[in-house]
Amino acid sequence: MNKKDKARQTQAVRAGVDTDSQHGAVMPPVYLTTNFSFAGFEKPREYDYTRTGNPTRDALAGVLADLEGGFGATVTSSGMGAVTLACQMLNPDDLVVGPQDCYGGTFRLLNGLANRGLFNVRLVDQTDPNVLAAAVAEGAKMIWVESPTNPLLRIVDLAQTKKLAESVAALMVVDNTFLSPALQRPIEHGADLVVHSTTKYLNGHSDMVGGAVVAANEALHEQMQWWANALGLSGSPFDSFLTMRGVRTLYVRMQQHEKNATSLAEILSEHEVVGKVYYPGLKSHPGHQIATRQQLGFGGMLSFELKGGMAAARVFLETVELFTLAESLGGVESLAAHPATMTHATFDKESLAKAGISDGLVRLSVGIEATEDLVRDVLQGLEAAATVSPR
């Protein structure tokens, strides 16, 4: 059967299976090696040095490119490595227009590099088409998109953003970490580069740190490969093996993440101590229509505001038992975070306010545990939060 005829779920499960011609290993061998011998004098083999190329890493890159529908993927040592790699497409004086509530590490890197004069950066509310259009019209060379955004799950219209990018010949880069290719394929909506923290859903088991940049075309892919090697950003073979193992179950995991998140979003929406709930699957979410159009599902991330502010957030987070208080997201286990003091602590007060990140905001990475246990746990957290919340 031709690769293109197989469902992506099948491609994910079967990636590299039964390709070992030497021993017939069903699962592809892991090449934990720094270098590869020459077959003879002036006779290099396909691989020579692992920073430049490694079969295990290439196997992962191949499946990521297939799942995203790109020309090729470059696997990096972290999601921030992938962000750094995509930023190599910017030159001094170029303008990158990003989201004001982007991931804290991306915010730090874009501002840090801009402060050194490597390029200019404007972070705006990309869900407001007029605001985005005005910023892009200043002569953007790159539009950096996160959709859904972190942590407020705002939805950016990818097709519309592509039109803006084309109007000024800018590259469109989409960080697809929150949904994974199982639930969103940005290249189909015009993305030139898709960035991932594979640390999250793609690996899915919170036991490594990695990233990837999937390029829509050959020219961009070659640049990504060249810079990853030149800067030393390449991901390790062992982490690539772990990620590929995770990718095999991506599609089934995403279904359970979404089922659980939907149930929690519903009970949170009805609870008296909760102000706003941010989950694109809710009809009340301002980006629900766009999400329905451009996504294949709504995912496992949600945020909500507790009316009792910081005090209520603290009580909630100290009460829940199945939501581990930790940074990161996308693993099989449920996690909870307080963005203002954790993931977005790099934001100053003004940027937090501008991004709409309040002291009472709690972000959940909803895992794949049994739905009823997660519901019971969240309800117990909300009951505890009620003791310090205005009624």
Residue ranges in contact with ligand PLP by CB under 6 A:
78-80, 103, 105-106, 146, 150, 175, 177-178, 197, 199, 209, 211, 328
Nearest approach, Cβ of 228 to ligand PLP (angstroms)?
Answer: 14
| Residue placing its CB nearer to ligand PLP in the complex, 80 or 142 | 80
Nearest approach, Cβ of 314 to ligand PLP (angstroms)?
Answer: 22
* Cis peptide upstream of residue 28 (ω within 30 degrees of 0): no
Nearest approach, Cβ of 200 to ligand PLP (angstroms)?
Answer: 6
Q: Is 181 helix (H, G, I), strand (E, B) or coil?
A: helix
Q: Are 49 and 36 in contact (CB under 8 A)?
A: yes
Strand spans (E) along the chain? 72-76, 95-99, 120-124, 140-146, 171-175, 193-197, 211-215, 274-278, 301-306, 324-325, 335-337, 361-365
Task: Point out the residue whose Cβ comes nearest to ligand PLP.
Answer: 79
- In sequence order, which residues have a C-beta less than 8 Å from that of residue 104 and are 6 or more positions away? 343, 344, 345, 346, 347
| Residue 166 CA: distances (Å) to CA of 94, 133, 136, 140, 158 | 16, 12, 10, 10, 12
- Three state DSSP letters for 126-161: CCCHHHHHHHHHCCEEEEEEECCCCCCCCCCCHHHH
C-alpha of 108 from chain center: 16
| Residue placing its CB nearer to ligand PLP in the complex, 328 or 380 | 328
Nearest approach, Cβ of 80 to ligand PLP (angstroms)?
Answer: 4
- Could you give the residue numbers annotated as active site? 51, 103, 175, 200
Nearest approach, Cβ of 296 to ligand PLP (angstroms)?
Answer: 18
* Cis peptide upstream of residue 151 (ω within 30 degrees of 0): yes
| Residue placing its CB nearer to ligand PLP in the complex, 175 or 359 | 175
The alpha carbons of the chain give a radius of gyration, in whole angstroms, of 21
| Residue placing its CB nearer to ligand PLP in the complex, 314 or 344 | 344
| Residue placing its CB nearer to ligand PLP in the complex, 149 or 389 | 149
